[in-house]
Amino acid sequence: MKADLIISGGRVIDGTGQNSRIADVVINKGRITGVGDFADVEADRTLNAAGKCVAPGFIDAHTHDDRVLLSSPDMSCKISQGVTTVVTGNCGVSLAPLENVDPPPPLNLLGDREWYRFATTAAYANELREEPAAINSLMLVGHSTLRIATMDRLDRPATKREIQKMEKLVDAAMEQGASGFSTGLEYPPSISASEEEVIALAKRASVAGGIYTTHMRNESDDVHLSIDETVRVAEQAEISTVISHHKTCGKNNFGRTCETLPQIEEAKKFVQLNFDVYPYVASSTSLLPQYLSKSDRVLITWSDPHPECSGMELSQICEDWNISTDEAVDLLSPAGAIYFQMDEEDLQRVLKFPGSMIGSDGLPSDRFPHPRLWGTFPRVLGHYSRDLGLFSLEEAVARMTGNTSSTFGITDRGYIREGLCADIVVFDPETVIDRASFDDPIQAAAGIESVFVNGELVYEDFQWTEKRPGVLLSRAA
């Protein structure tokens, strides 16, 4: 029998973290049908991968790609990194279910009023199914989105009745295609939410087999208390939980991952807990005064009233305009920013932690985005694994494939294994590297050679194909 595709003679890194081996990978009808020696099998297409790595397509554990999947379905920022699946709806922010609002920060990171037009999760899922993207997605429903849909004021905990309403919304979202629930408890729309409210909603997600991801209430001085809160939610809602973009921010918290990682390790003994991390010492979100004092440097990523300031240093803007930081924030808002506020040693410690997952947290709507949007995965492979030797290439790949699919319950992806869906990336281990930088953030990575989603070629030699084989995935409970 003739195969659809054979990727021959590559170094197969299977996603488990185990040693790679030289093998052929056979693909038929969108699935991997053989891994081994298939030299005498004929195929419609043979891709010679000698000297190259053949890995499962990368899974971006943490994204804000809800809108870009619809507005730029080629998903160039992700596909050019070898990413074949994204988890959307993180940090409490999902596009659905919400309509007819002017989205406050951080909801405006996804898009403006015209994009908040999905009354139900089903409406969003249907549009994605009708107009599929090049890559797969798995969606979470966001707590801040639900609060805005339900409450007249956000600066207080939800009442019993409001919690009941939101519980119904979580139930509906889970039934209509969501795979979990996310919070952004540090952000203005949700910082006043009670732990009880979060537990109640996480419980509904749990009952439906979902996962819980959280941008915690605090990632700086009180990070340890936030981890405690997260563990209590995981325990009481009995839900598999992911701490989003784990880090400790601000100079006085440098080094504190020596404290938080053992805390997480201890909690893992009795709750299902993991985290995602991006490989940079700068964060990025809305321009909010609360982050300024903890940052060495602040870069503006976008500004509605002053688009010309995208890419500029906040300090430079203050100097040019001869105004205070507070005044500048007022004039620039609504806006987004990059904050340099983490320590490289902490970052490396977090990346190295066993079982961790790589998530870009990229912001695809930004005019001058944080380079993590285009650079995260090749940076881990090229810079942290190959150049710094932080971990083996096999361990690096596991952090972007198998660790993530098993945490999120994506059962038929994340490994190179017979029977699984053919999401595959072929990359050059010698040359793979991020090229997106803080000065020049929109740059496709080097060394990502061919990317297949469900067996279809979506990217090769820096070219995007017209194929849109992405599907909406759901978590296997």
- In the complex, minimum distance from the CB of residue 331 to Zn ion, in angstroms, rounded to a whole number: 25
33 or 88: CB nearest Zn ion: 88
Q: Segment 357-386, which members bind Cu ion (CB under 5 A)?
A: 361
137 or 183: CB nearest Zn ion: 183
Q: Which stretch binds Cu ion (CB under 5 A): 141-149, 344-352, 355-363, 398-406?
A: 355-363
- In the complex, minimum distance from the CB of residue 245 to Zn ion, in angstroms, rounded to a whole number: 6
190 or 333: CB nearest Zn ion: 190
245 or 435: CB nearest Cu ion: 245
- In the complex, minimum distance from the CB of residue 93 to Zn ion, in angstroms, rounded to a whole number: 8
The reply to whether 90 sits near Cu ion by the rule CB under 5 A is yes
91 or 471: CB nearest Cu ion: 91
Q: Which stretch binds Cu ion (CB under 5 A): 9-17, 138-146, 188-196, 353-361?
A: 353-361
How many residues bind Cu ion (CB under 5 A)? The answer is: 3
63 or 206: CB nearest Cu ion: 63
- In the complex, minimum distance from the CB of residue 109 to Cu ion, in angstroms, rounded to a whole number: 8
Question: How many Å apart are CA 408 and CA 87, to the nearest integer?
Answer: 9
- In the complex, minimum distance from the CB of residue 173 to Cu ion, in angstroms, rounded to a whole number: 18
- In the complex, minimum distance from the CB of residue 454 to Cu ion, in angstroms, rounded to a whole number: 26
Q: What is the 3-state secondary structure (H, E, C) of the chain?
A: CCEEEEEEEEEECCCCCCCCEEEEEEEECCEEEEEECCCCCCEEEEEECCCCEEEECEEECCCCCCCHHHHCCCCHHHHCCCEEEEEECCCCCCCCCEECCCCCCCHHHCCCHHHCEECCHHHHHHHHHHCCCCCEEEEEEEHHHHHHHHCCCCCCCCCHHHHHHHHHHHHHHHHCCCCEEEEECCCCCCCCCCHHHHHHHHHHHHHCCCEEEEECCCCCCCHHHHHHHHHHHHHHCCCCEEECCCCCCCHHHCCCHHHHHHHHHHHCCCCCEEEEECCCCEEEEECCHHHHHHCCEEEEEEECCCHHHCCCEHHHHHHHHCCCHHHHHHHHCCEEEEEECCCHHHHHHHHHCCCCEECCCCCCCCCCCCCHHHHHHHHHHHHHHHHCCCCCHHHHHHCCCHHHHHHHCCCCCCCCCCCCECCEEEECCCCCECCCCCCCCCCCCECEEEEEECCEEEEECCEECCCCCCCECCCCC
Near Cu ion by CB under 5 A: residue from 91, 227, 357, 393: 91
394 binds, among Cu ion, Zn ion, none (CB under 5 to 8 A by kind): none
Binding mask 313-352 toward Cu ion (x if CB under 5 A, else -) reads ----------------------------------------
63 binds, among Cu ion, Zn ion, none (CB under 5 to 8 A by kind): none
The reply to whether 137 sits near Cu ion by the rule CB under 5 A is no
74 or 219: CB nearest Zn ion: 219
Q: Which stretch binds Cu ion (CB under 5 A): 33-41, 86-94, 138-146, 441-449?
A: 86-94
Binding region for Zn ion (CB under 5 A): 91, 215
- In the complex, minimum distance from the CB of residue 63 to Cu ion, in angstroms, rounded to a whole number: 8
- In the complex, minimum distance from the CB of residue 91 to Cu ion, in angstroms, rounded to a whole number: 4
Contacts with Cu ion, residue ranges (CB under 5 A): 90-91, 361
